[in-house]
Chains A and B, each alone.
Chain A
Amino acid sequence: MSLLKAIIVEDEEASRETLKNYLNKYCETIEVVEMADSVKSGLTAIKAHNPDVVFLDIEMPYGNAFDLLDALDDIEFEIIFVTAYRDYAIKALNLSAAYYILKPIDIDELVAAVDKISAKKKAGDDNFHTKILMDNLKSNAIQHKKIVLPQMDGFEVINVNEIIRAEANDNYTNFYLTNGSKFLVSKTLKHFDDLLSDFDFIRIHKSHLVNLQYITKYIKGKGGQVRMSDDSIVDVSATRKKELLEKFN
């Protein structure tokens, strides 16, 4: 099989070198065809090589990763974002289930990301993550934001405001949607709690994350319960009761 063509866009030389060295050493399916130190040179390289995968540093002088993606009409390649630490971009990446690795680069993480990309390429899947990521970044209205929910057999893309509630199920999470459907997602509830807290979701229980706008009734009790628009009754833990009630005052 042919090697995946990779381009590294990263302003710092040390980081570029590090990434290149590790890819050469540990990722045999990838061949770094060019390295760029800015958005501008990155765009030129992408156009020149039509890469399979781009390692893209988020923060660079003279424009960041999203400036680069904005400049492209069509994104045919997979992207592995590289970032120095968890900043605002991480949430957006997670929402669209984009691939990213953190600096200083963890070799195992790098290998896992590359493996996933390789598998995907083999299966011939579309690169819809990036499209959703860009859509989300461009739309400011909450109701238009989309979330990518990874499942055993692929991904489900839904509007955030279609989710009525999520319920923990060991290391997985059950999602209940407005159309009455329910499905299991292979991520923890904690992951979605972090992700959805900006969208009027509230963790009312160790096992429950609910969308505030679908709560139809609060039933008094030690912690109490809430009834959701789909008539499901969800427990509220005593410790989170106050936080919930404050949202309604």
Chain B
Amino acid sequence: MVQRLTYYLLLTLLCISANVMFAQEQYQQKSSYSKIRSKSADSRVAEVQSKLNDAQKLFKKNPEKALDLVHDGLLIAIKENYLNEEAEAYGILGQFNFDLNEYSLSLKNYNKAIAIYTNLTNSSARKKSKSPSNFQRKLNQLFHPAGKAAELSNDLILGATYYRQYLNNVTSDNDIVKARTALGDISLKSNDLNTAETAYKTALKIEQKRDNKNGITILNLKLGELEKVKKNAPKAIEYFRNSQNTAIQINNDKLANQAFTNISRIHQEEKNIEEGIQINQEALNFNQERNNQSEASKNNIDIANFLLQQDKNEEAIGHLQNSVTIAEKTGDIVNQSKAFKALSEAYDKTGQESEAIKKYKEYQLLEDSLYNLRKTQLATQNKKGAMLENAQNKLSLLEKDKQLNEKTIEILQQERIIQEEFITQQRILTYSLLFGILILLITAFLVYRSNKAKNKANKLLILKSLRAQMNPHFIFNSLNSVNSFISKNDERAANRYLSDFSRLMRDVMENSQEDFIPLSKEIDILEVYLKLENHRFKDKFDYSFTVDKSINTEDSLIPPMLIQPYIENAVWHGLRYKEEKGFLKVDISQKGNDIVITIEDDGIGRKKSQEIKTENQKSQQSTGIKNIDSRLKIIEDIFKTKLDVTIEDTNKVQESGTIVTVKVYQENLTTNE
């Protein structure tokens, strides 16, 4: 029952573990596929990288081609889930869009790039594997342009956020100034004047500290603009003046003119005509000195406009004609147009109506051509915009595709996670099952071993008890014999018999403790036993007991009390029934190393002995021989000693007499056992 259960259990366990092995094999195959894939992946990364590099080189010359390249790279990056390359591509797109003045598109792309890099930075920081600084650096590079794109697409809050992030992540003075300036600009735009002022002033301090004139110039300009917004004209003028001065010092005419223009505008707004004329005169002198024709022309126009407000028409006309001359010379249509318009106004004021109309017509003509020029420019811009729009549409399609892909990837990943979990569970299950099997086997082995040991112990015990069983009949009969001597008052005989009997009992008891005894001891026992039995059946048989002298009776071993039952049988079942006196011959000889004992009688024989038993007697069986059979089996089993017993009729024709031959092989026996 238990064995069968164990078999089933083992079978089940084997089946399960085979399943698990199979599953694991499959999994290993799968993972080796993904290894192959990752190898080819490296080359694709390189492909994307080279596309992006080419695009950047090509952009100035052929923006359309460059955009195509970026889109190609982006497509691969999205498909293959190269996050780093994807972010890079978005960054480049943002930059291209920005350069093409498509700020909102630019912002979109920058946003994407920033989102990806942020994720990468965070996850690599979590994993602590690659240093996150690489991604962080790329991220920082994006904040400023992204902020600019946001600013220019009027998302001022986002722009400010990006600038702040930029500011938080940069360390060099240049970058800090850049960040603060940008932050100031955008704050100014969103009318957050305090923030703007702080930003500008902090930047200015840095520039002053390191004496960067260019920076100082620019920041003074910006602070001037800020004060202008705050309607603090004197302060504004002061900043612009500072700016103008430093600009002139560093020969930056453009900035200087910006300062002049700004101051001039303030005067115009404040209606400070004298100061306005004065500053423009100053600017005119500066520009004439530096040969800045266009600026000079503009200065003339401004001066003229101020003069016109004072009704100094003739003077104004003089300046305007100067301006027209310069503009014509340099082909400066804008200023020429402005000058014509102002001239027309001036002539109108002086009543030179025909001259006014003439100038106005000329003004209109220039305006038309300016308009056309602008229209062409706008068309080009629109064309570029359309192209970008188109490209962006493609991108958004791509993105939708990617989202789908991502979902698929997500599902795949989930599947993989589930698979991995499954494998892990299976593995745990396998290990625990294997462990279980191991325990089971160990237990089975231990049980088997202890059973075996128990079995052996049991057998030894049985053996011992079998040995100790001297036929009780013999004991009682011996005591009867003593009793008979007593009843006859034969003290001497009783005593002798009792002594012999005691000696026999003592020997039997002593030797029954051993599994094997020297042959000499067994001989002693048999001698006494024969003597006692013969005494009881004196009229029934004579006997001889011979031992081959060449036998080393001390070293030959024999199980104790092995021969006695056969002698007993010969007497009780053979000789006792015989009419005339019989003969019992016990002989111990040697055959090779082995001991051969023969017990031969000429009694009635086994067949007749069985026949003469009545119904009432048959229920009893000879326990002596049964005992011996069990003993022989156990001895052979435990000690691997061979014992041969053959029982034959002495006279085979008459089936009378019995001859028992016991052969004790000495092969596995040693004296110390």
The interface of chain A, by Cβ under 8 A from chain B, is 12-15, 17-18, 21-22, 25, 59, 61-64, 66-67, 70, 84-85, 87-88, 103-105
Contacts and interface: CB of A to CB of B under 8 A. Distances in A.
A21 B488 contact: yes
Contact of A61 (B477, B481, B577, B615): B577
Contact of A18 (B476, B480, B536, B617): B480
Contact of B612 (A18, A61, A84): A61
B618 to A, nearest CB: 10
B617 A103 contact: no
A15 B480 CA distance: 7
A162 to B, nearest CB: 28
Given A15-B480, A25-B487, 20 more contacts: A12-B480, A14-B483, A17-B487, A18-B480, A18-B486, A59-B617, A59-B620, A62-B612, A63-B616, A64-B617, A66-B616, A67-B614, A84-B476, A84-B480, A85-B472, A85-B473, A103-B479, A104-B476, A104-B482, A105-B483
B619 A18 contact: no
B612 A104 contact: no
Nearest to A67: B614
18 contacts: A12-B480, A12-B536, A14-B483, A14-B484, A17-B487, A18-B488, A21-B488, A22-B487, A61-B577, A64-B617, A67-B614, A67-B616, A70-B616, A85-B476, A103-B483, A104-B476, A104-B480, A104-B482
Contact of B617 (A15, A25, A63, A105): A63
Contacts of A67: 614-617
Contacts of A12: 477, 480, 536
B157 to A, nearest CB: 89
B90 to A, nearest CB: 86
Contacts of B487: 17-18, 21-22, 25
A18 B536 CA distance: 13
B576 interface: yes
Nearest to A106: B483
A64 B613 CA distance: 9
Interface string B268-308: 00000000000000000000000000000000000000000
A14 B536 contact: yes
Interface of B: 472-473, 476-477, 479-484, 486-488, 536, 539, 576-577, 612, 614-617, 619-620
Contacts of B576: 61
A18 B614 contact: no
B251 to A, nearest CB: 122
A19 B614 CA distance: 26
If over half of B's interface residues share one DSSP class (helix, strand or loop), that class is named, otherwise mixed; here it is helix
A62 B613 CA distance: 6
A105 B487 CA distance: 10
Top 6 A-B pairs, shortest CB-CB distance: A21-B487, A14-B484, A104-B483, A18-B484, A18-B487, A104-B479
A65 B509 CA distance: 34
A87 B620 CA distance: 10
Contact of B484 (A17, A62, A87): A17
B190 to A, nearest CB: 95
A64 B472 CA distance: 19
Nearest to A20: B487
A21 B490 CA distance: 12
A180 B486 CA distance: 53
A14 B481 CA distance: 6
B536 A17 contact: no
B541 to A, nearest CB: 14
A21 B485 CA distance: 10
A62 B536 CA distance: 19
Contacts of B472: 85
A13 B536 CA distance: 8
A103 B474 CA distance: 12
A88 B619 contact: yes
Contacts of B616: 63-64, 66-67, 70
Q: Which of B477, B483, B619 is most buried by chain A, counting CB atoms within 10 A of its CB?
A: B483
A84 B612 CA distance: 21
Contacts of A25: 487
Q: Which of A14, A17, A62 is most buried by chain B, counting CB atoms within 10 A of its CB?
A: A14
Contacts of B473: 84-85
Nearest to A15: B480
A132 B182 CA distance: 135
A41 B452 CA distance: 57
A59 B573 CA distance: 13
A191 B563 CA distance: 39
A40 B125 CA distance: 117
Contacts of B481: 14
Nearest to B572: A61
A14 B612 contact: no
A15 B484 contact: yes
Nearest to A61: B577
Contacts of A70: 616
Nearest to B612: A62
